[in-house]
Amino acid sequence: MTTTPTAITNVQLIDGRGGAPRPAMTVLVEGDRFTTIGPSANTEVPVDATVVDGSNRWMVPGYVNGNVHLLDAWMFMVGPGTIEYLARWEGRYVEVIEEAAQLVLRNGVTTVFDTYNAIEPVLSARDRINAGTSQGARIFAAGAIVGMGGPFSADFHFGGRKAASQTFVNRIDEMFEAGVGHQLSLLPRNEVRARVRDYLARGVDMLKIAVSDHIFMTVGLDRSYQTFTRPVLDVMIEEARAVGVPVLSHSLSVESLETSVDLGADVLIHANYTMGQPYPHSLVDKIVASDSYAELQTIHDAHRKGLEEAGSWAALMGGGAFADNERTLVSAGAKILMGTDAGCPSNDHLNDLSPLEREDRPWTIGGDHFHWTQSMVERGMTPLEAITSATLQVARGYGKDDLIGSVETGKLADFVLLDKNPLDDIRNLRAITDVYQAGRAIDRAALPTTPLVTTHPTA
């Protein structure tokens, strides 16, 4: 099947690799790939090409989010709404995941890494999008977090166990845990190896390990425990390396973060979350010298102030050592990638929040990546660095930079056109005129194709 080439002419190109923007460039796309990139003055445009005039526009790579939960895992943590959300959409989780993937695609995120979800629904949505049966951001999925319980375990909304039928909460937890939940912490390492091997055989794209617990929502922010011994962690790493998938670490303390770096984790999920403890200098040096990429979950200053005014506990995560750790890694030159923890929340949950908590909320999928880049510039990144961290750095961290993350010949033609310069103001990343995924223009107004969570309840 032949396809008509597309030529974006006279565009200002920010290719994602960190260099200065290149003015008056022509970018040719054939099929799903970038084929030619050069100055418009001497780049020949095929006579049959569809020409898009890029004058007064800026091209950036499709944004890549390194940590989302397309079912809203943030809701599992805050508690209220968890039962109704999971019960209301049970049997339709694939549709909810696809809706979330379409919400982010509409705003320029062409690829997401879903790092905790119910394995069968997220893999099904991934495969449907890959096959073209459904639209949405390209999904790479971890499924379960190895060593962590489901939504109604002590790792999340344990109180829900007392407010819903045990049959229901057990069924949901088993779906999310997928045989590698918190029970693994009781098992000998040989059985852990067998379970992790079986889990990887189900086709996940990466392995996320709970190096430390996630019980702070049950017991408070004043403690954290390592989930596994180092020999057991080594077994998991061996199994992941044997099948060639990247390893992600979940850590919530200085010691568990250092353990994650020592393990050689590819991505350090929420590396700034050390429960309010600042990094020792030795750990910063170790992170910078390692091959690990630090995913930071950040809250920009205006939203943090709104959370403080509203009396929200979440304001803690936008200041103090949380923000200081972000500044430290930025200034030290650590490899940083974008991740937001965002999901597709229910309108009921959002309506329970005050306007200050809802406005530009970093955990509401669709606008979360704009919030992240704004915050990271406040933490010391240049706009160019923030763009690279939201594109190519994510691809590098996950080992996908041969396919995505920058505007380079041979890569998938994922890109966004803007009508304002994001280097003048990083908030101009919101000024989207067009989104292309794998060479195809996205009908942004048509997304989501089947609104579900975002339109419930209907008026």
pTM assigned to the model: 0.97
Q: What Cα–Cα distance (Å) separates residue 187 from each residue in 180, 190, 195?
A: 11, 8, 10
Residue extent(s) of CATH 3.20.20.140 domains in the chain: 63-397
pLDDT of residue 153: 93
Residue extent(s) of CATH 2.30.40.10 domains in the chain: 6-61+406-442
63-397 has CATH 3.20.20.140 classification = yes
Q: Count H helices, E strands: the chain?
A: 17, 18
For helices 281-289 and 254-263, give the axis angle rounded to 10 degrees: 30
* SS3 (DSSP) at 295: strand
Q: What is the largest CA-CA distance in the chain?
A: 69
Phi-psi region of 224 (alpha: psi -120 to 50; beta: other; left: phi over 0): beta
Tell me the backbone φ, ψ of residue 230, rounded to 5 degrees: -60, -40
Architecture in CATH for domain 6-61+406-442: Roll (2.30)
Angle CA(398)–CA(404)–CA(408) in degrees, nearest 5? 135
Helix (H) or strand (E) holding 170: helix 166-177
For helices 230-243 and 254-263, give the axis angle rounded to 10 degrees: 40
Nearest to 372 by CA among 98, 75, 64: 64
For residues 203 and 123, the answer to whether their CB atoms sit within 8 Å is yes
For residues 110 and 135, the answer to whether their CB atoms sit within 8 Å is no
Residue 226 DSSP code = B
Question: Running along the chain, 459 residues long, what does each successive block of 10 average in pLDDT?
Answer: 85 96 97 97 96 97 98 78 93 97 98 98 98 97 97 92 94 97 95 98 98 83 88 98 98 97 98 94 98 97 96 93 96 98 93 94 96 98 98 98 98 98 98 98 97 85
Instruction: Give the tens place of pLDDT for each residue, 389-409.
Output: 999 999 999 999 999 999 999
Q: How far, in Å, CA of 394 to CA of 404, rounded?
A: 9
Nearest to 348 by CA among 84, 109, 158, 148: 84
Q: How many CB atoms lie within 10 A of CB 157?
A: 26
Q: How far, in Å, CA of 454 to CA of 459, rounded?
A: 12
Instruction: Give the tens place of pLDDT for each residue, 277-317.
Output: 999 999 999 999 999 999 999 999 999 999 999 999 899 99
For residues 236 and 192, the answer to whether their CB atoms sit within 8 Å is yes
User: What are 436's strand-pairing partners?
Assistant: 415, 441
For residues 293 and 336, the answer to whether their CB atoms sit within 8 Å is yes
Strands 33-39 and 415-418: unpaired
Question: Per the structure block, which two tokens stand in for 448?
Answer: 């989501």
Nearest to 441 by CA among 72, 67, 106: 106
Nearest to 368 by CA among 143, 74, 107: 107
For residues 179 and 199, the answer to whether their CB atoms sit within 8 Å is yes
Q: How far, in Å, CA of 293 to CA of 427, rounded?
A: 24
Nearest to 189 by CA among 234, 153, 137: 234
Segment 36-45 long-range contacts (CB within 8 Å, at least 24 positions apart)? 36/409, 37/13, 37/407, 37/408, 37/409, 40/9, 40/10, 45/7, 45/9
